[in-house]
Amino acid sequence: MTLKESMSDLNQEKSVPQETAAVPQNGSNGLGMRRVMSWITKGGMAIADQGLITGSNFLLSILLARWMSREEYGAFALGFSVFLLVAVLYQALLLEPMSVFGGSSYHSQLRTYLRALLTIHLFAGLAILFGLGASAGIARMAGQADGLPGSLLGAAVAAPCILLLWLARRAFYLQLSSAFALAGALLYCTLVVGGLFLAHSRGFLSSFSAFALMGAGGLLSSVLLLICLRQQLDANHAALHLKEVWRRHWEYGRWALLCAAAMWVPANMYYPLLSSFHGVGSAGELKAVLNFFNPIFQTYAALSLLLLPYAARRRSQGVHAGALTWRITLLCASGTVVYWAVVVLFAGPAFRLFYSGRYMEVAYLLPVVALGSVFENAFFGPAIVLRAMEAPKSVFVALFAAAAVSLVVGVPATRSFGVSGAVWSQSLSSVVGFAIAVALLQGKLSASKAVEVPASSALVTAQLGPEA
């Protein structure tokens, strides 16, 4: 084929999309509106799903604090903190990689992939059961009579069941179907809160029974969700090796695990610092002003359950990562700006409503918290895309930079300026983390372009010959 004939064929091929592209223009507006409404519905369900789980745990803590003795409630709090530590490990090694690989590499093999994950969960659950059970036995032999052995034993029984519910709920997000996850969360919330009132009325409420109720609610809800999931997933007989699935999860999850540790530093280190430098009351002041940060952050954390598998799937379909990052970042940043515009405008009435006029001396720091919150939530954009590109190491580098700023700047600033120093340092770390994440993503995009250009040049040379 001559060069002239090749160019003629190319012009004919280029003319086809132009003709076909003109056909659906009349219905493009309607299609776009349906997509927007679909994402609003799914996003609202994701927020409600996360809100039910978080809200039931919050209500559980409040009711137990009212009904239990100080010692028994302290034992429950310690057991719950141990459960949260286990949950961080589980999230990093199973759930987050699941959102990435389930939306890309294994999306066409979801049934066999989820079967492999359930097998991994079985081994993890047994390890948790025996590990925490042994801790409960050691606490009992050590003479702990304040409810701690029962709390640890309850956590040992409940943790595998609750984490199974998390796994089942996350599976529905792989298909961008949050309705079933919401139904499971609603069932869990109803069972736990209803069972708690029943246990209190019958007089057998304890830290162990509280964990047992959480475990029973998680187990029943997850079984029903898995039954629904089995009916929805297409039958697929493709074989997946368990060792290979675990290897990929470990290679990804070890960085996610480090990310979780790096996120803890700027989010939680200021409370013990303030308590040490300026007394426990200053830590309460920081908590009071940061309470306004949590609603909008949890909102986008819930949306990320949808956005991460969506981004992974779009990347596997060849969608440009830059455009994807811009859309997610704009979504997160714009909503945060609107939220804080209202909160800052009504800061005085909000503090009087929530705190009965207390902590007014730190209300002036809300705009600083708002600034950090905008960059903290904008961070979801590049972080989600980097994770979808299976580059959690880059996310860790950005989070490590933010943690380093918190340590280098935050410690002396908190010592010298108290709550204001802590708030300014935390906001600065959010800005730095976002900037580093964007720079790392741009570097990866530039590197991928540099690889694509020589490859395409070689293809042209092969087709047209070296003399062309």
Apex CA 264: angle with CA 167 and CA 313, to 5°?
40
**Rg value, the chain, Cα:** 26
CB 209 within 8 A of CB 154: yes
Residue 10 neighbours by CB under 8 Å, 6+ apart: none
pTM comes to: 0.61
Helix/strand/coil for 291? coil
Euclidean distance between CA atoms 215 and 217, whole angstroms = 5
Of how many residues is the chain composed?
A: 468
Euclidean distance between CA atoms 282 and 397, whole angstroms = 31
Tokens 């490990």 belong to 89
Mean pLDDT in consecutive groups of 10 residues from the start of the chain, 468 residues: 39 38 49 62 67 74 73 75 82 85 76 89 94 88 75 92 92 74 87 90 87 93 89 69 87 80 78 78 78 79 74 71 82 92 89 76 92 93 85 87 92 92 94 93 76 44 42
Q: Which of 329, 122, 306 minimizes the C-alpha distance to 314?
A: 306
Residue 360 neighbours by CB under 8 Å, 6+ apart: 348, 351, 352
> So where are the chain's domains?
43-240, 272-464
Q: Provide the angle, in degrees to the nearest 10, between the axes of the packed helices 28-67 and 178-202.
A: 20
Rounded alpha-carbon distances, angstroms, from residue 386 to 1, 179, 211: 43, 27, 36
